[in-house]
Amino acid sequence: MDSFTQIVLGAAMGELAAGRRIGNRAMLWGAVAGTIPDLDIAAGWVADPITSLAFHRCVTHSLYYALFASPVLAWMVRALYGRGGRPEPGYLWRVWLPATVVLYVLLVAGSLASPTPLEGVPVYSAVVAGLTVVVPFLVWALRSVKARGNKTLHQRSTVTYVHWLSLFLLGIGTHPLLDCFTTYGTQVFQPFSQLRVAWNTVSVVDPAYTLPFLICLLVASRALRESRFRRRITWLGVGLS
């Protein structure tokens, strides 16, 4: 599916996971989670076009990656809002660096075990792992600069690790699920099988799918985060999806 639609779906998942606690920021983080699987476009930097095309929608678009990467990313982002809305001392080497290493290992292990061959696995995995940890950090940093002086930003986050875990599991996990409905499909069972699941029911770019969902999400973003209406209109969008 096109990246914009994946962002819309991820934002809806973020809202359902943590919208009541942090409002529209949950949509923002859900959009980040929904984008993460597509960072495998970095395969094109280390492999020929045919191989990189085959490897796209591979390991990062699998249930394997959603299940094992989500806890790492949830831990990393939760620690970003650790003390007064800011990371704990030593965050970069206590949390950020270990998270990078774990994601790198997940990508290397999944890529080497994959039935789809790819040259330059160590370089590819390093690039994708690096992008994966840099994107959330930049989102947090830019948000902090934009909202500097806002007292609510610097309060300790009320979002627990379970909320972050749900957000990333839903955001990353629904990405390959949506891709399964397209003509191209996705290798959702990697690295255990290279079967490409394609149900051919949604176009890769499908306004009939995206626009109603987007409208529901925009309406929800204007409502109070505690309101039942916000929750219901988000579920309406998911139901249409």
**DSSP string of 167-233, one letter each residue:** HHHHHHHHHHHHHHTSSS-B-TTTTT----B----S-SS-HHHHHHHHHHHHHHHTS-TT-HHHHHH
Phi, psi of 229 (to 5 degrees): -60, -45
Q: How far is CA 105 from the centre of its chain?
A: 18
Q: Model's pTM, two decimal places?
A: 0.92
Per-residue pLDDT at 153 exceeds 50? no
**Hunting for tokens 């249409």 — which residue is that?**
240
**Hunting for tokens 């995995």 — which residue is that?**
125
Per-residue pLDDT at 233 exceeds 80? yes
63-108 pLDDT tens trace: 999 999 999 999 999 998 876 678 888 999 999 999 999 999 999 9
- Return mean pLDDT, the chain: 89
Rounded CA-CA distance 87/77 in Å is: 9
- Concatenating the DSSP letter of every residue in 91-142 gives HIIIIIHHHHHHHHHHHHHHHHHSSS--TTHHHHHHHHHHHHHHHHHHHHHH
Rounded CA-CA distance 138/156 in Å is: 19
3-41 pLDDT tens trace: 999 999 999 999 999 999 999 999 999 999 999 999 988
